[in-house]
Amino acid sequence: MDNFVRIYENVVSAEKCQKFIDKFESDIKHHVIQDNGKGATLTQINLLNSPDTIWKDDANFLMNIIMNCVEKYKEDCNINSIQWPGKFGFEPPKIKRYMPDTTDEFPEHVDVLNLRTAKRFLVAFLYLDDNERGQTLITPKDDLFVSSCKQGSLLLFPPMWPWTHEGRKPVDKPKYIVGCYLHYV
Protein backbone atom coordinates (compact mmCIF):
# COMPACT_ATOMS: atom_id res chain seq x y z
CA MET A 1 0.00 0.00 0.00
CA ASP A 2 1.18 3.54 -0.76
CA ASN A 3 2.47 5.42 2.29
CA PHE A 4 1.78 8.88 0.73
CA VAL A 5 5.29 10.08 1.59
CA ARG A 6 7.09 11.81 -1.28
CA ILE A 7 10.31 13.77 -1.65
CA TYR A 8 11.00 16.15 -4.52
CA GLU A 9 14.66 17.00 -5.06
CA ASN A 10 16.28 20.19 -6.33
CA VAL A 11 13.19 22.38 -6.02
CA VAL A 12 15.23 25.29 -4.61
CA SER A 13 18.81 26.18 -5.59
CA ALA A 14 21.71 25.88 -3.17
CA GLU A 15 22.26 29.64 -3.43
CA LYS A 16 18.66 30.43 -2.49
CA CYS A 17 18.80 27.96 0.42
CA GLN A 18 21.95 29.65 1.73
CA LYS A 19 20.28 33.07 1.44
CA PHE A 20 17.44 31.79 3.64
CA ILE A 21 19.93 30.49 6.21
CA ASP A 22 21.92 33.74 6.23
CA LYS A 23 18.75 35.83 6.57
CA PHE A 24 17.52 33.58 9.40
CA GLU A 25 20.82 34.03 11.27
CA SER A 26 20.72 37.82 10.83
CA ASP A 27 17.07 38.16 11.99
CA ILE A 28 17.80 37.33 15.62
CA LYS A 29 15.03 39.54 17.01
CA HIS A 30 12.41 37.15 15.56
CA HIS A 31 14.02 33.93 16.82
CA VAL A 32 11.64 31.96 19.03
CA ILE A 33 12.56 28.86 21.00
CA GLN A 34 9.98 26.11 20.50
CA ASP A 35 9.46 23.48 23.20
CA ASN A 36 9.11 20.12 21.46
CA GLY A 37 8.44 18.09 24.62
CA LYS A 38 10.70 15.68 26.50
CA GLY A 39 13.25 18.48 26.98
CA ALA A 40 13.72 18.93 23.21
CA THR A 41 13.73 22.35 21.54
CA LEU A 42 14.49 24.19 18.31
CA THR A 43 14.76 27.82 17.20
CA GLN A 44 12.34 29.15 14.59
CA ILE A 45 11.05 32.23 12.80
CA ASN A 46 7.44 32.51 11.63
CA LEU A 47 7.93 34.10 8.19
CA LEU A 48 4.59 35.91 8.39
CA ASN A 49 4.96 37.07 12.00
CA SER A 50 3.73 40.60 11.24
CA PRO A 51 2.22 42.64 8.38
CA ASP A 52 5.56 44.43 7.86
CA THR A 53 7.71 41.28 7.94
CA ILE A 54 10.95 41.28 5.96
CA TRP A 55 10.05 37.70 4.94
CA LYS A 56 6.89 38.41 2.89
CA ASP A 57 8.51 37.92 -0.56
CA ASP A 58 10.33 34.83 0.72
CA ALA A 59 7.08 33.36 2.04
CA ASN A 60 5.42 33.92 -1.36
CA PHE A 61 8.38 32.30 -3.13
CA LEU A 62 8.14 29.27 -0.82
CA MET A 63 4.37 28.95 -1.25
CA ASN A 64 4.85 28.81 -5.03
CA ILE A 65 7.52 26.11 -4.70
CA ILE A 66 5.32 24.10 -2.34
CA MET A 67 2.27 24.44 -4.61
CA ASN A 68 4.23 23.21 -7.64
CA CYS A 69 5.30 20.15 -5.65
CA VAL A 70 1.78 19.63 -4.28
CA GLU A 71 0.46 19.39 -7.84
CA LYS A 72 3.09 16.76 -8.60
CA TYR A 73 2.27 15.01 -5.29
CA LYS A 74 -1.42 14.78 -6.18
CA GLU A 75 -0.49 13.24 -9.52
CA ASP A 76 2.10 10.85 -8.03
CA CYS A 77 -0.33 9.67 -5.35
CA ASN A 78 -3.29 9.38 -7.76
CA ILE A 79 -5.35 11.84 -5.73
CA ASN A 80 -8.45 12.90 -7.62
CA SER A 81 -10.70 15.93 -7.25
CA ILE A 82 -13.18 14.29 -4.87
CA GLN A 83 -10.31 13.44 -2.48
CA TRP A 84 -8.72 16.91 -2.47
CA PRO A 85 -10.31 20.03 -0.92
CA GLY A 86 -11.67 22.54 -3.42
CA LYS A 87 -10.29 25.36 -1.28
CA PHE A 88 -7.44 25.27 1.16
CA GLY A 89 -4.99 27.55 2.91
CA PHE A 90 -1.54 27.50 4.43
CA GLU A 91 -0.18 27.76 7.91
CA PRO A 92 2.52 30.44 7.83
CA PRO A 93 5.87 28.88 6.89
CA LYS A 94 8.54 28.74 9.57
CA ILE A 95 12.29 28.37 9.24
CA LYS A 96 13.54 26.03 11.94
CA ARG A 97 17.11 25.56 13.13
CA TYR A 98 18.41 22.57 15.04
CA MET A 99 21.88 22.98 16.59
CA PRO A 100 24.27 20.09 17.30
CA ASP A 101 25.31 19.31 20.90
CA THR A 102 22.13 20.90 22.28
CA THR A 103 18.59 19.81 23.12
CA ASP A 104 17.55 20.63 19.54
CA GLU A 105 15.54 17.76 18.04
CA PHE A 106 11.90 16.83 17.61
CA PRO A 107 10.96 13.52 19.30
CA GLU A 108 8.48 11.15 17.66
CA HIS A 109 5.10 12.85 17.26
CA VAL A 110 2.20 13.56 14.91
CA ASP A 111 1.10 17.02 13.83
CA VAL A 112 -2.67 16.62 14.27
CA LEU A 113 -3.68 15.91 17.85
CA ASN A 114 -6.63 18.15 18.62
CA LEU A 115 -9.34 20.35 17.17
CA ARG A 116 -6.95 23.30 16.72
CA THR A 117 -4.52 21.27 14.57
CA ALA A 118 -7.20 19.15 12.83
CA LYS A 119 -7.31 21.65 9.95
CA ARG A 120 -3.87 20.42 8.78
CA PHE A 121 -3.92 17.89 5.94
CA LEU A 122 -0.43 17.93 4.41
CA VAL A 123 3.06 18.57 5.82
CA ALA A 124 5.76 20.28 3.74
CA PHE A 125 9.41 20.29 4.86
CA LEU A 126 11.98 22.03 2.69
CA TYR A 127 15.57 21.21 3.62
CA LEU A 128 17.88 24.22 3.42
CA ASP A 129 21.13 22.32 3.98
CA ASP A 130 22.57 18.83 3.62
CA ASN A 131 22.43 17.01 6.93
CA GLU A 132 22.46 13.22 6.52
CA ARG A 133 23.04 12.74 10.24
CA GLY A 134 20.03 14.83 11.26
CA GLN A 135 17.40 12.86 9.36
CA THR A 136 13.65 13.07 9.42
CA LEU A 137 12.14 9.66 10.15
CA ILE A 138 8.55 8.92 9.19
CA THR A 139 6.86 5.69 10.25
CA PRO A 140 3.48 5.14 8.56
CA LYS A 141 2.24 1.89 10.09
CA ASP A 142 5.00 -0.73 9.80
CA ASP A 143 6.90 1.16 7.11
CA LEU A 144 9.94 3.40 7.71
CA PHE A 145 10.86 6.32 5.49
CA VAL A 146 14.17 8.09 6.15
CA SER A 147 14.79 11.52 4.67
CA SER A 148 18.45 12.46 4.85
CA CYS A 149 17.81 16.21 4.71
CA LYS A 150 19.17 16.95 1.25
CA GLN A 151 19.52 20.65 0.46
CA GLY A 152 16.81 21.99 -1.83
CA SER A 153 14.52 18.96 -1.47
CA LEU A 154 10.90 19.09 -0.33
CA LEU A 155 9.27 16.34 1.73
CA LEU A 156 5.45 15.98 1.66
CA PHE A 157 3.31 13.65 3.78
CA PRO A 158 0.03 13.61 5.74
CA PRO A 159 0.17 14.93 9.35
CA MET A 160 -2.32 12.52 10.92
CA TRP A 161 -1.85 9.69 13.44
CA PRO A 162 -0.55 6.97 11.08
CA TRP A 163 2.43 9.18 10.09
CA THR A 164 4.48 9.43 13.25
CA HIS A 165 7.71 11.23 12.57
CA GLU A 166 10.72 12.70 14.31
CA GLY A 167 13.42 15.21 13.52
CA ARG A 168 16.71 13.70 14.62
CA LYS A 169 19.26 16.01 16.20
CA PRO A 170 22.11 17.07 13.95
CA VAL A 171 25.54 15.70 14.86
CA ASP A 172 28.23 17.93 13.39
CA LYS A 173 26.53 21.06 12.01
CA PRO A 174 23.21 22.95 12.29
CA LYS A 175 20.17 21.67 10.40
CA TYR A 176 17.80 24.16 8.74
CA ILE A 177 14.35 23.41 7.38
CA VAL A 178 11.26 25.32 6.32
CA GLY A 179 8.09 23.77 7.73
CA CYS A 180 4.59 24.48 6.47
CA TYR A 181 1.13 22.84 6.50
CA LEU A 182 -1.72 22.91 4.06
CA HIS A 183 -5.03 23.61 5.85
CA TYR A 184 -8.69 22.96 5.29
CA VAL A 185 -10.62 26.24 5.19
Residue 87 belongs to a domain: yes
Residue 1 belongs to a domain: no
pLDDT the model gives residue 47: 97
pLDDT the model gives residue 29: 95
Residue 127 belongs to a domain: yes
pLDDT the model gives residue 147: 85
Pairwise CA distance, residues 156 & 122, whole Å: 7
pLDDT the model gives residue 7: 96
Task: Residue 123: give the domain boundaries.
Answer: 6-184
Residue 72 belongs to a domain: yes
pLDDT the model gives residue 178: 98
pLDDT the model gives residue 58: 97
User: 10-residue block means of pLDDT along the chain (185 residues)?
Assistant: 90 98 97 94 95 95 98 97 95 96 93 96 97 81 83 96 92 95 96
pLDDT the model gives residue 1: 55
Residue 173 belongs to a domain: yes
pLDDT the model gives residue 148: 82
Pairwise CA distance, residues 59 & 46, whole Å: 10
User: Could you tell me how many helices (H) and strands (E) the chain has, helices first?
Assistant: 2, 12
Give the number of domains in the chain.
Answer: 1
List the CATH number of the domain containing 16.
2.60.120.620
| Total-model pTM | 0.94
